[in-house]
Chain A
Amino acid sequence: MRDIRSVFSNERIRRALIGMSTLVVCLAGCSQPSEMIAPRTLEIQQQWDLQPGSLVGGRRISGGLGDISVDLGGGNIHAPFDGKVQPHEHQCLIYSTPEVPAYVFRFCDLDKVALGDVREGDVIGKGNIMQFAALRKQPSGQWAMVEPSTSMLERILARP
């Protein structure tokens, strides 16, 4: 196998790498930082006192009504369609897509989340115990917790 040092000793390759690094720095500076993604607020129709993020006895409630707890085991979840990921309250995210009107998904307790526009199959985040909820828009403007389909959850958990 060719020695990597000999590869990088090539002047043109070195220049290309330097140029690529410069491009990355430029893109990183031009790309939209996570903090610029506006948080998504929504009003849930079914209101329980205990919601994800509530503190009881000094402990945080991580799931509540309508949440499906999924043991990811440190694995990833993926965007089921082209869409957008926005921050939400209490360590939760809201995923929406124009391909599926009137529905949004809520993901809680994820690490290393990808905010902003995502493509179908992109990793949204990873974690251990994820709380997942599907919400359907109501005529009042509120969002109702609904039972998600197994096929949709599979599409989120497994990269398409």
Chain B
Amino acid sequence: MVNAQQPQESRQRQSVIDLFDPHQAMRRSRAQIPMSQRPVTAESITALRSSVATNHFHPPHPSSQVHVSGGAHQLDSGIATFNPQTAVQPHDVKSVHSEGVSTLADVLGVTQKDRARQRRKHRAQQKSTDRRPKPTRAVRRSGRSPNVSYLLAGGSLLAGLVVVGDVGSLLASDPVSDVCQEVVQADATLSREELSQLISIPERQAKASVREVVSEPHCILPNVEIRKGAIAEREAYPLAFDPNTWVVLLYEGDEYAGYSFSFQ
């Protein structure tokens, strides 16, 4: 602690500390230090103001034994502030060997070597801060939460399925020619007259009655069993006047079952 026997330089330096550390000043007042011994002098404040006004002020290094508690302390409007992140703990104060005070560091007894060490450490701290893992893009995006992304993902997946379903239904059915099992007569077609006579034949007529109207089919389709015990034989004909339309005939044994149109 400071007492009345200390040299003038020490009192001057302590006064500056008090400016930045009101708690310490309070503790000192509690120690019942006489007001006459309070070390705040006009010269020290003037020197301090001139120094911080003309020099870039760096936060003190722990080894520089300066502490600013409680965050930023503004000396004068627009002059300088302390960063609470860089505030350090109090320590013993070095003595000042020169009466000429040009900077705050000089006032506080900080040498050029100490300041250089401060700057190196400050730069190292800044580098370590820069090396922190950067947040992901998703985190950096301020306007969209991850939930929205998942919602978008799910909705898009569902939409994709719907699209596939719609596109599938929009696609034309496989043409009958693709279902053909065997081509019987490649150039076989049905003319208008043949078609007109064919549709006039009632179902369940004999197969021979149909053969009198139409010639050999273009192709035959695989046999299927729709009704128990009855093998269905299917024959296909493209229309001569509309090749994209095919007529499929179904027989069960010797019985003609019916016809259908397939539009490709």
Interface residues of A (CB under 8 A from B): 3-6, 8-9, 14, 17, 20-21, 23-24, 27-28, 31, 82, 97-103, 116-120, 122, 134, 136-139, 146-152
Contact = CB atoms under 8 A, between A and B. Distances in A.
B37 interface: no
Given A103-B227, A119-B168, 16 more contacts: A6-B137, A9-B137, A9-B141, A17-B153, A20-B160, A27-B163, A27-B167, A98-B176, A98-B263, A99-B260, A99-B262, A101-B249, A101-B260, A147-B228, A149-B228, A151-B224
Interface in B106-152: 136-138, 141, 146, 149-150, 152
B136 A98 contact: no
Q: Which residue, A98, A101, A122, has most C-beta atoms of chain B within 10 A?
A: A101
Given A9-B138, A28-B162, A99 B257 contact: no
B162 A24 contact: yes
B249 A9 contact: no
A36 B168 CA distance: 18
Category for how many chain B residues contact A: 35 or more
Contact of A138 (B203, B248, B261): B203
Nearest to B156: A17
A5 B227 contact: no
B234 interface: yes
B149 A136 contact: no
B138 A5 contact: yes
Contacts of A82: 173-174
Contacts of B234: 99-101
A97 to B, nearest CB: 8
A98 B260 contact: yes
A26 to B, nearest CB: 10
